[in-house]
Amino acid sequence: MDRQDITQAVAILKRGGLVAFPTETVYGLGADAGNPAALRRLYEIKGRPASHPVIVHLADAAQLSQWAREAPDSAHKLAAAFWPGPLTLILKRAARVGDDITGGQDTIGLRVPAHPVAHALLAAFGGGIAAPSANRFGRVSATTADHVHEEFGDSVDLVLDGGACEVGIESTIIDVSGERPALLRPGRISKREIEQVLGAPLAAPRADSPRAPGTLPVHYAPRTPVALVPAAALRAQVADRLRRGQRVAVLARRVPPEVDGRLAWIAAPETAVDYARGLYANLRRLDHAQCDVILVEQPPSSAEWAAVADRLQRAAV
Ligand code: TXA
Ligand code: MG
């Protein structure tokens, strides 16, 4: 990655093209947030319904007021504590912001990413870059440049390669547009860390909370069916399926009990942070193993696993 790649990426964005770029969470598929034609192409390539909003990425928090018409105290506190970083804030949108970014809602999602390539791109571009995760709608997010190519082939104008993403799962989303801040999507920045900064507990999302497709029941799904299995039942389930002649993929925090040609097994890391970092790459690998099912060992129920548990539940049928 050098200066020239960034210059080329900016030129592509300015003429309405699409540039995929790394962030510390997952890769984003970027378009000029101020260009309606570019946004239409973005939605089309992603396969995302027009009613679903997309996050606008900014080089720094000072640009917030160009996109949001009001920022409560909670927004300033969270931005100061976690930007640049893996946090998205949902705010009331500024008057000039169109329906094509917000899915017709009165709110806008904003994030200042920390990844050096994302930051260099945003700083050089100057404006907001609308970027959903760089995967087809409903599918597993991309955490390497290869994943992006796998999803979109040549239909993206440029993919900036920044290596594998450090966080591995999407940003924490906090809605600060209502009476009380609410958690819409868990992520690396935990509920507790947010509450510590706010000095108050987060509200549960309200029935009328802004819609978020990452919060639909089925999302982040491989093509192979995924089943979540309690740790204690895993061994018996694997044996049972092999006996019935199935090919079985497994993601578990331990090594396989036996070697079997019909078994594709990934021993995932023991800690939530490391597990999350490799989660989507692991699901993709197992999806390619041509098995009848992917059995995923249920993660611990403790708070540090909340974001991983959320993604796994949505990947399972
Ligand atoms: O980590 C991330 O957030 C990545 C990187 C690329 O920044 N982006 C990402 O984008 O995950 P996407 O579009 O796959 O998921 C963004 C989530 C969606 O669930 C979307 O509905 C929600 O943010 N969102 C965006 N704007 C919103 C709004 N105005 N109100 C409610 N939810 C919003
Ligand atoms: Mg997504």
The model's pLDDT over 233-265, given as tens digits with 9 standing for 90+, comes to: 999 999 999 999 999 999 999 999 888 889 999
Average pLDDT over residues 51-58: 95
Residue 176: is its pLDDT beyond 80? yes
Q: Which of 52-66, 201-215, 221-235, 297-311 has the lowest mean pLDDT?
A: 201-215
How high is the pLDDT of residue 217? 66
How high is the pLDDT of residue 252? 98
How high is the pLDDT of residue 200? 96
pLDDT band at 317 (very low <50, low <70, confident <90, very high): confident
Closest residue by CA, ligand 1 atom 26: 109
Residue 223: is its pLDDT beyond 90? yes
Ligand 1: nearest atom to the Cα of 109: 26
Domain 226-315 adopts which CATH fold? Answer: Rossmann fold (3.40.50)
pLDDT tens-digit readout, 100-147: 999 999 999 999 999 999 999 999 999 999 999 999 999 999 999 999
Ligand 1 centroid to Cα of residue 184, in Å, is 10
CB-defined site of ligand 1, < 6 Å: 23, 25-26, 28, 52-55, 88, 90, 102, 105, 107-109, 111, 131-133, 170-171, 173, 210-215
The percentage of residues in the chain with a pLDDT greater than 90, rounded to a whole number, is 89
The percentage of residues in the chain with a pLDDT greater than 70, rounded to a whole number, is 96
Ligand 1: nearest atom to the Cα of 211: 31
SS (H, E, C) the chain: CCHHHHHHHHHHHHCCCCEEECCCCCCEEEEECCCHHHHHHHHHHHCCCCCCCCCEECCCHHHHHHHEEECCHHHHHHHHHHCCCCEEEEEEECCCCCHHHHCCCCEEEEECCCCHHHHHHHHHHCCCEECCECCCCCCCCCCCHHHHHHHHHHHCCEECCCCCCCCCCCCEEEECCCCCCEEEECCCCCHHHHHHHHCCCCECCCCCCCCCHHHCCCCCCCCCCEEEECHHHHHHHHHHHHHCCCCEEEEECCCCCCCCCCEEEEECCCCHHHHHHHHHHHHHHHHCCCCCEEEEECCCCCHHHHHHHHHHHHHCC
Pocket test for ligand 1, best of 58, 88, 169 (most atoms within 8 A of CB): 88
How high is the pLDDT of residue 216? 65
How high is the pLDDT of residue 215? 63
User: What does CATH list as the number for 3-198?
Assistant: 3.90.870.10
Residue 87: is its pLDDT beyond 80? yes
Average pLDDT over residues 278-296: 97
pLDDT tens-digit readout, 185-207: 999 999 999 999 999 999 987 66
Residue extents of the structural domains in the chain: 3-198, 226-315
